[in-house]
Structure 1
Amino acid sequence: MLLFTILFSLLFLTLYPSAWKHGGKGFYWVQLLRWVAGLLYSAWTFYVKLVDQTPEAMLANFAWIVAVSLLIDSLWLASGKWERRIGQLTSVAILLGVAYFLLIYPITIAQDQYEFVDAKVSKEKLEPMNEKHLPVVPREYAEYKIEKVLGKVKNYFFYDLGELAIQKIDNQLYWVAPIEYKGFFKWWQGDTVPGYIRVSAEDQRATAEVVKARMKYVPSAWLGENLYRRVRAQYPDVVLMNASFEPDEKGKPYYAVSYGSYEKYRRVRDVEGVILFDPSNGEMKKYARNKVPAFVDQVIPADVAIERNQWFGKYKHGFLNSLFGKRDVHIPTEWDEGEDEVIAAFDRSMRMHWVTDHTRDEEDAGSMVGYTMMDSRTGKITYYTGVDGLLNGSSAANVVSKTFKEKQWEAPAPILYNVYGENTWVLPVLDGNDVFRKVMLVNARDEKVYAYGDTKREALNKYQYAISTNLENDEATPTNQSEQKKEKGKVIAVYKDRISEENVVVQFLIEGNDKIFTVNSSKFPYAVFLEKGHKVAFSYLETKEKVVAVKTFQNESLDNKGKKKKDE
């Protein structure tokens, strides 16, 4: 870095040979000042920005310096007509080239950016999720808990929280936040940071805990102890992207620094793998994308996922179409400032994806046209079109606001999952202090079908019942997580709960089956007459849970008076 800093600082000096031949004392003082300015700019470029040491990077960062220097010096220092003219023409040519690559070139490659994404378009439903590992704790509540624990760390005033990220550790989902230095002087006084803090992303009642692991080389450290600076020193010619904090399955902390290269003259980032960095001793190893250790969840950074979603939605028919015709244009749902445009979600195999819904490029669009899932390790994107016309994430969040209007509770950015065969928005509900209050499930087909509870299990049980009894014209294809089954038998126990003047919830058991079956009298009026010993025939959603909701119901002991036809 030092050699590059000295060499490129020389570009700030006058480039006309005649000026050096005839210059006086004042000229040399000016050159000294320009060289100092060059040293400062070069140091900022190589030590602060940490740009990759490639020809393209040098051209992008220093070409304009040469052009401006030639142009200014041609007015005062060039000694002859031809020297002045050549210098001016050269500077104008360079400036025009810079202007082209900054203003015109990005327009010409818009469709190339779309094609680079190479998204797979699918009409299939989203893969069913694993209810056991449903992350109901939002970032805001996790940060609230983690900050409380940070205040108990020894010399806590030295430290601040790094960026929170959701991670899989030992097959459980956690929010993790590395502890960082609070500034230069705190780093100067300190030796190492004490570790990181984690809290369950699945259980809102879990407490945050400090995981002790002394880390010397972190992003907030300075000079030679800065993580990015050490990585750049060892790998000078690769494009460095964001570092993801990645504890392994035993909780040992690592940073996974995504690296790659540029295509289309530094307009398209191609992620080629990660540099796995041990913050305790500064050791690092470079892994190609298909060789990254299994515990690393994030190879593709979130900002790369965001830009690829934008390219895919806007540039199918080029740049001009994205502004005027807008044929086939759709955009990721935009959230309030500070909210993530893509959200980390985990499938049934506990594999991480960057997900977001897409809407029409119109104000106040309330429905989706598609939904993307990007594999955070491979970068492969699947665009699901089967959700076209369904409720988008912003509208689902509005359901929460309306439901809890008096309490003024809100929901952060939700995640779309396949729950019991239904596309469902999962929304944690927070109060004004970012404290968790409820978890809510909103059906994407019908916003009137929703359920909420104090716990994930309570919300899932209520939602299962809601979609069984309130979702009309149900054409959902049962999945291996929610298969519709038929059953008949003799009732051995009955429980009735009047939840309103018009509605009674009836739960019953039958011989040879340990499930608790639930019926709603608003849909099956004769269910209120169900008694122990009656024979019944019914269908229900098999979800491998103890409490299940009945879809169709017939009390055979009442001579078919209790019969309810199967839903269309």
Structure 2
Amino acid sequence: MKKTGRKILIVLAVLLATGIYYYITLPAFNIHSQGFWQFLLVFLLVLIAAYALAKSKKELKKGQSFKFKEIWKQLNLVKAGIILFGVLAVIYAAGAILSSPIVNAAKYQKLLTVEDGDFSSDIEEVSFNTIPLLDKSSAELLGNRKMGSMVDMVSQFEVGNDYTQINYKDRPVRVTPLVYANGIKWLTNQGKGIPAYIMIDMATQDTECVKLTDEIRYSKSEYFNRNIYRHLRFHYPTYIFDDQIFFEIDEEGTPYWVCPVKKFNIGLFGGQTVGKAVLCNAVTGECVEYNVDNIPTWVDKVYSAELLTQLYDYYGTLKHGYFNSILGQKDCLQATNGYNYIALDDDVWVYTGVTSVSGDQSNVGFVLMNQRTMETKFYTVEGAIEDSAMSSAEGQVQNLGYQATFPLLLNISGEPTYFMALKDGAGLVKKYAMVNVQKYQWVAIGDTVAECEKAYVKLLVTNGITKSAESGVFESISGTITSIAPVVIDGNTHYYICLKESDEIFDVNVADTTLVDIVKYKEQDKISFEYEMAETGICTVMSIR
């Protein structure tokens, strides 16, 4: 009876250790999952060790010296287990090697289909109300600041670090859930759940803490069965979920987790794309799976930016095989060392430049990659890489020490243009910059986006790239000054002018050195200038003639 009880205890101990390991690591029961193979090898190793230990104790007598060879003869089952362990380890290692780009370069190169796009038709001139003016780090500052003002929640919750960029009602926003501040706060609040999420408008910088009628009960900050990863694993034990799952909201503001399911197209572990996605309601925990081709259109992120850029690197570097990508590097192209997001047709697209692997400072073009469908378009636009454009913009304000964010590529007056924010040491956006892609020494800076765009369009006109009439921004007028008055706005002197020939008020910003001659004018003088119309009735003067 004692021997039987001891065996039962050993079996229970092994099962308990295995269960704890599974509960923590959550491997998928799928031969394409490396975690499954690691789980299998660890489990087999524990069984072998437990059996060998029990068998050895049985064979050894108290006070007898340890004779390894004699005991080893009795451990036939251990021998078989070690052989099985070795076979599985060899299969695992062989699967990893045979799934790699070294062996399957041509297959990796074809994972992504890239179409040629037309810049002027595909990338239309967009309203600045529909493009993100902030990056993730700036959004985090706004989110933390908003959380600090929520006195009823700030002691119990913190802001999560998801900050998923999505399109919400035709606006670029970032959304992130609140999380429990620590284990004690989880213990006291998990009964009700998480009461809100943060939404930041990336165009206007408006930050809102959206309080929910029904709290979020499934999240990354839960500890046990309501942890979103564990919840997914118990519902889908064979699915291999991507490490990145995305917090999103639907058009009604209901929070969801968008959970991509990996698909391996090459061998056991290679050629990862996305085959399915599971949408998990963060409030109820209800899960619905979709094939990647049938995902609802309100979902914006299925493919992570990192996965898409990796797939493009395979496409660009493996055209002539793996060893060419390492040695000769003929015709090898790769994505630049950063990316940003742009909204087109109610989808979020990843933008990144394309450059040669030789490390030069120029782009041969750029790609847009749809995060919902994986659709990819390449645009031939030669010019400076983003790092060079960022340095050029920073050089314009080097006395202020501002740092540029990774740029967006926009169509401004038909010209491919890098647009970026300039931040101070505290991470706050102070100015905006536009840099011409092909002539990256052409830089326009403005305190507001509108000022930056006006300065940039004026720069294009000055350099003969566009004409005033072609720009569609400026109009001309000549007339007699009936009144002229200086006004200080945000520390800058402006002159407000009224003309006999117009009912509009014209604003001349003296901070623009090309307009400083306005101080020479007085009432009854004749003047001619170009200006931009404004709905407010105060038109901005762009040049004096």
TM range (shorter): 0.7 to 0.9
Match for 2:294 among 259, 274, 291?
291
Query: Residue in 1 aligned with 2:492?
Result: none
Residue pair 1:176, 1:198 contacting (<8 A) in 2 also: yes
Question: What is the SS of the residue equivalent to 1:246?
Answer: strand
Query: Residue in 1 aligned with 2:478?
Result: 491
Query: Residue in 1 aligned with 2:108?
Result: 113
Letter in 2 for 1:156: V
Query: Residue in 1 aligned with 2:154?
Result: 156
- 1:148-297 maps to which residues of 2 (within 5 A)? 148-151=145-148, 152-162=150-160, 163-191=162-190, 192-204=193-205, 206-212=206-212, 214-241=215-242, 242-264=244-266, 265-297=268-300
**Bigger mean CA offset, 225-234 vs 33-42:** 33-42
Query: Residue in 1 aligned with 2:90?
Result: 96
Match for 2:363 among 361, 368, 383?
368
Letter in 1 for 2:364: V
**Bigger mean CA offset, 115-124 vs 426-435:** 115-124
| RMSD between aligned residues | 4.5
Offset at 1:108? 0.9
Offset at 1:158? 2.9
Letter in 2 for 1:261: K
Distance in 1, Cα, partners of 2:534 & 2:229: 47
TM-score (norm 2): 0.76
Shift in CA distance, 173/311, structure 1 to aligned 2, threshold 3 Å: same
Query: Residue in 1 aligned with 2:26?
Result: 50
Correspondence 1:465 to 2:458: yes
Residue pair 1:541, 1:549 contacting (<8 A) in 2 also: yes
Distance in 2, Cα, partners of 1:85 & 1:207: 64
Correspondence 1:133 to 2:126: no
Offset at 1:432? 0.6
Distance in 2, Cα, partners of 1:51 & 1:440: 47
Offset at 1:80? 8.2
Shift in CA distance, 541/392, structure 1 to aligned 2, threshold 3 Å: farther
Corresponding pairs, count:
497
Residue pair 1:64, 1:98 contacting (<8 A) in 2 also: no
- 1:532-547 maps to which residues of 2 (within 5 A)? none
Correspondence 1:357 to 2:358: no
- 1:81-92 maps to which residues of 2 (within 5 A)? 91-92=85-86
- Unpaired runs of 5+ in structure 1? 1-23, 335-340, 498-504, 556-568
Distance in 2, Cα, partners of 1:330 & 1:490: 50
Residue pair 1:246, 1:254 contacting (<8 A) in 2 also: yes
Distance in 2, Cα, partners of 1:359 & 1:272: 29
Question: What is the SS of the residue equivalent to 2:299?
Answer: coil
Offset at 1:116? 0.8
Shift in CA distance, 311/515, structure 1 to aligned 2, threshold 3 Å: farther
Query: Residue in 1 aligned with 2:437?
Result: 444
Distance in 2, Cα, partners of 1:82 & 1:54: 30
Distance in 2, Cα, partners of 1:489 & 1:303: 48
- 1:303-322 maps to which residues of 2 (within 5 A)? 303-322=306-325
Distance in 2, Cα, partners of 1:287 & 1:84: 45
Letter in 2 for 1:200: D
Distance in 2, Cα, partners of 1:383 & 1:543: 36
Deviation track 1:452-508 (CA, whole Å, cap 9, x = no partner) reads 222222211221111121x35x389x9xxx9557999973468999xxxxxxx9x99
Letter in 2 for 1:368: N
Letter in 1 for 2:478: V
Offset at 1:324? 0.7
Correspondence 1:418 to 2:414: no
Distance in 2, Cα, partners of 1:488 & 1:408: 36
Shift in CA distance, 114/211, structure 1 to aligned 2, threshold 3 Å: farther
Letter in 2 for 1:220: S
**Bigger mean CA offset, 93-102 vs 231-240:** 93-102
Question: What is the SS of the residue equivalent to 2:421?
Answer: strand
Query: Residue in 1 aligned with 2:386?
Result: 393
Residue pair 1:508, 1:517 contacting (<8 A) in 2 also: no
Residue pair 2:258, 2:278 contacting (<8 A) in 1 also: yes
Residue pair 2:460, 2:466 contacting (<8 A) in 1 also: no
Shift in CA distance, 97/510, structure 1 to aligned 2, threshold 3 Å: farther
Query: Residue in 2 aligned with 1:500?
Result: none
Offset at 1:245? 1.4
Offset at 1:424? 0.9
Letter in 1 for 2:375: K
Distance in 1, Cα, partners of 2:106 & 2:498: 60
- Unpaired runs of 5+ in structure 2? 53-67, 487-494
**Bigger mean CA offset, 432-441 vs 454-463:** 454-463
**Bigger mean CA offset, 175-184 vs 421-430:** 175-184
Shift in CA distance, 427/408, structure 1 to aligned 2, threshold 3 Å: same
Distance in 2, Cα, partners of 1:176 & 1:261: 27
Question: What is the SS of the residue equivalent to 1:239?
Answer: coil
Offset at 1:86? 7.0
Question: What is the SS of the residue equivalent to 1:56?
Answer: coil
Distance in 2, Cα, partners of 1:514 & 1:243: 53
Distance in 2, Cα, partners of 1:510 & 1:461: 26
Distance in 2, Cα, partners of 1:95 & 1:238: 22
Distance in 1, Cα, partners of 2:99 & 2:216: 43
